[in-house]
A and B are shown apart, each in its own frame.
Chain A
Amino acid sequence: MAATGESMTWRRVAVALPYLWLLVFFLLPFAIILKISLADPIIAQPPFTPIFNEQGGLSVTLDNFLFLLTDKLYAITYLKSVLMALAATVLCLLLGFPMAYGIARSAPSVRSLLLLLIVLPFWISFLLRVYAWMGLLNNYGVINNTLMWIGIIDQPIQIMYTDFAVFIGLTYSYLPFMILPLYATLERMDLDLIEAAQDLGASRTQSFWDVTWPLARPGVIAGCLLVFIPAMGEYVIPYLLGGPESLLIGRVLFDEFFVNRDWPLASSVAIVLLLLLVVPIVFMQRNEAKLEEAE
């Protein structure tokens, strides 16, 4: 839209409102996290040292970050969160790709219903969907009861409160995030290309790896990042399904803040988590830009 001189004023107003909102409620809070991550914890209200001391000098410390780097527990927790998120991403892809493929290739009359059934869980509370698994995985839950009734096992196996339960919970909760972007790219794909490849003598596996997979790659990347990034910081799933030893970083951050009341350490945990996620987030935004251009 061409901007005439008269329209400049309201244009500025229109930009300023959402801009200011995001500056105050999105960007400024990160500056505050950074500030507090450089403070010392004290027993006071609020529980951290001010950035300027009484003499007006700057008082910052890197102690929290040094602690995170040297304390083995935190290194293990970060590593475990990355591995867990990766494992869930891989399983989501293994299950999600054939599902997205099947939906994209289904008859148009059932396709919209199949798609609706993928989206539907989104609209049901995330918390309640995780809760539903508690009833299945319990020692006397549906799965154990069924297995015992069939006679495969004669006493319940411990699934609940293990890392395996967290893994299942993550895969379950984030599967739709994988399927939707995959479906979007697969649905646009020209089927003639595969047929042409096969007519020219390519086997089914060959035509999959040489034709389908490269064309679906933007969707694969989007789906993987949409699963990996939120799974890294997950709090509810490790809390409800995991045991005391399934410490993922999101839960550690929460507990550091609310249970130990160590605000500076919780802030530095958040900063390090953010640094770990900056690469995938930037990558994701690039990928989105590419997808938009392709349209």
Chain B
Amino acid sequence: MKQSRLIISILAFGYAFLYIPLVSVIFYSFNDSKLATVWGGFSTRWYGELFRNDQVLDAMFLSLRIAATSATFATILGTMAGLILVRFGRFRGRALFSGMITSPLVMPEVITGLSLLLLFVSLQQLIGWPGQRGFSTITIAHTTFSMAYVAVVVRSRLAAMDESLEEAAMDLGCGPLRVIFDITLPLIVPAMVAGWLLAFTLSLDDLVIASFVSGPGSSTLPMYIFSKVKLGVTPDINALASLIILIVSVGLLLSWAAMRKRSS
């Protein structure tokens, strides 16, 4: 189809707008100079320093642990929520439930973070838990907002799916639990995997909510990065950002190519 010249130039401008900042970070990560904006020759020394920095490695490890745990919980709870909304028909409190599951999607992070921290503080006064804020509190917070995303993904998959297979199994005498585990779940596994990946990424990405609900001594990777970039551009964060950009881009492009090959 022929596109007007105007549309093509806006597209080019838009993609340049989206990608120039990322390319510039990668470019400057190979800058030898300590002053991040003055070119001092090619060097990979900031990458080396990154891997010798224990703080970065600790923060990265904590972030990955939180992301994997919260994504798993969020997938379990979010899949249940999606099933309930699509397959369970009407039940008491359904409106409240569907409101609670979609609201975290649009809630400003500062409000979610503040509200959860106040909850944890109150709980600690009442029942003495959580004694220390860190891994567990961040994991709970991330599970809560990412289960909403998983529920949306699972729900749209279920809504697009034909119910006749499940009905046939029921007609043949299958109990409702077996229908769920033998028919429904295997069919929505791709949606659950997509939901898990989304939840994992959202957790790795989160700065604001984690800053509220974490305690002294536990900082996630975004919290560490934020504490450094508050003071300005630094070359080792350029290197870290470039690594993340490259890993994500290569991963996504590969999975895109694989999907394209399969579909053609």
Q: Is B188 an interface residue (CB 8 A)?
A: no
Residues of A4-35 contacting chain B, CB below 8 A? 4, 6-7, 10-11, 14-15, 17-19, 21-30, 32-33
Q: Is B41 an interface residue (CB 8 A)?
A: no
Q: Is the CB of A285 within 8 A of B102?
A: yes
Q: Is the CB of A274 within 8 A of B88?
A: no
Q: Is the CB of A18 within 8 A of B14?
A: no
**Complex interface: stretch among B42-50, B127-135, B244-252:** B244-252
Q: Is B64 an interface residue (CB 8 A)?
A: no
A residues less than 8 Å from B138 (CB atoms): none
A residues less than 8 Å from B3 (CB atoms): 102, 105-106
A residues less than 8 Å from B36 (CB atoms): 135
Q: Is A230 an interface residue (CB 8 A)?
A: yes
Q: Is the CB of B229 within 8 A of A134?
A: yes
A residues less than 8 Å from B204 (CB atoms): 125
Residues of B1-51 contacting chain A, CB below 8 A? 1, 3, 6-8, 10-11, 13-15, 17-22, 24-25, 28, 36-38
Residues of B214-264 contacting chain A, CB below 8 A? 222, 225-226, 229-230, 232-233, 237-238, 241, 244-245, 248-249, 252-253, 256, 260
For A144, give the chain B residue with the smallest CB separation: B37
Q: Is the CB of B241 within 8 A of A229?
A: no
**CB within 8 A of B37: which of A131, A135, A263?**
A135
Closest CB of chain B to A163's CB: distance in Å?
A: 19
**CB within 8 A of A277: which of B37, B108, B179?**
B108
Complex alpha-carbon distance, A235 and B108, angstroms: 9
Complex alpha-carbon distance, A132 and B229, angstroms: 10
**Complex interface: stretch among A57-65, A113-121, A212-220:** A113-121
Q: Is the CB of B28 within 8 A of A135?
A: yes
Q: Is the CB of B111 within 8 A of A233?
A: yes
Report B161-204 CB contacts with A as 1/0, cut-off 8 Å.
Answer: 00100100010000111010000000000000000000001001
Q: Is the CB of B110 within 8 A of A10?
A: no
Q: Is the CB of B37 within 8 A of A112?
A: no
B residues less than 8 Å from A253 (CB atoms): 110-111, 114
For B8, give the chain A residue with the smallest CB separation: A102
Complex alpha-carbon distance, A133 and B20, angstroms: 9
Q: Is the CB of A124 within 8 A of B245?
A: yes
A residues less than 8 Å from B102 (CB atoms): 285, 288
Complex alpha-carbon distance, A267 and B100, angstroms: 20
For B144, give the chain A residue with the smallest CB separation: A25
**CB within 8 A of A229: which of B108, B175, B176, B238?**
B108
Closest CB of chain B to A133's CB: distance in Å?
A: 6
**CB within 8 A of A172: which of B21, B38, B101, B163?**
B21
Q: Is A127 an interface residue (CB 8 A)?
A: yes
Closest CB of chain A to B105's CB: distance in Å?
A: 9
Complex alpha-carbon distance, A22 and B20, angstroms: 40
For B228, give the chain A residue with the smallest CB separation: A131
A residues less than 8 Å from B245 (CB atoms): 124, 128
Complex alpha-carbon distance, A96 and B18, angstroms: 12
Report B73-113 CB contacts with A as 1/0, cut-off 8 Å.
Answer: 00001101101100111010100010111111010111100
Known: A32-B122, A135-B25, A138-B233. A26 touches B11 (CB 8 A): no
Q: Is A284 an interface residue (CB 8 A)?
A: yes
Complex alpha-carbon distance, A172 and B10, angstroms: 15
Complex alpha-carbon distance, A1 and B17, angstroms: 49
Q: Is A180 an interface residue (CB 8 A)?
A: no
Q: Is the CB of A266 within 8 A of B244?
A: no
Complex alpha-carbon distance, A7 and B91, angstroms: 14
Q: Is A82 an interface residue (CB 8 A)?
A: no
Known: A29-B116, A134-B232, A270-B110. A120 touches B241 (CB 8 A): no
Extra contacts, 13 of them, besides A29-B115, A98-B10 (Cβ < 8 A), are: A1-B163, A10-B177, A27-B100, A32-B118, A99-B14, A101-B7, A118-B18, A123-B201, A124-B248, A172-B18, A230-B109, A266-B114, A285-B102
Q: Report A's interface with B, CB cutoff 8 A.
A: 1-4, 6-7, 10-11, 14-15, 17-19, 21-30, 32-33, 36, 46, 95-96, 98-99, 101-103, 105-107, 112-114, 116-129, 131-136, 138, 140-142, 145, 172, 175-176, 225-226, 229-230, 232-236, 239-240, 250, 253-254, 257, 263, 266-267, 270, 273-274, 277, 281, 284-285, 288, 292
A/B interface sample: 10 pairs, CB < 8 A: A2-B170, A15-B88, A18-B80, A22-B100, A26-B103, A102-B10, A113-B256, A127-B207, A229-B108, A292-B159
Q: Report B's interface with A, CB cutoff 8 A.
A: 1, 3, 6-8, 10-11, 13-15, 17-22, 24-25, 28, 36-38, 77-78, 80-81, 83-84, 87-89, 91, 93, 97, 99-104, 106, 108-111, 114-116, 118-119, 121-122, 125, 140-141, 143-144, 147, 159, 163, 166, 170, 175-177, 179, 201, 204-205, 207-208, 212, 222, 225-226, 229-230, 232-233, 237-238, 241, 244-245, 248-249, 252-253, 256, 260
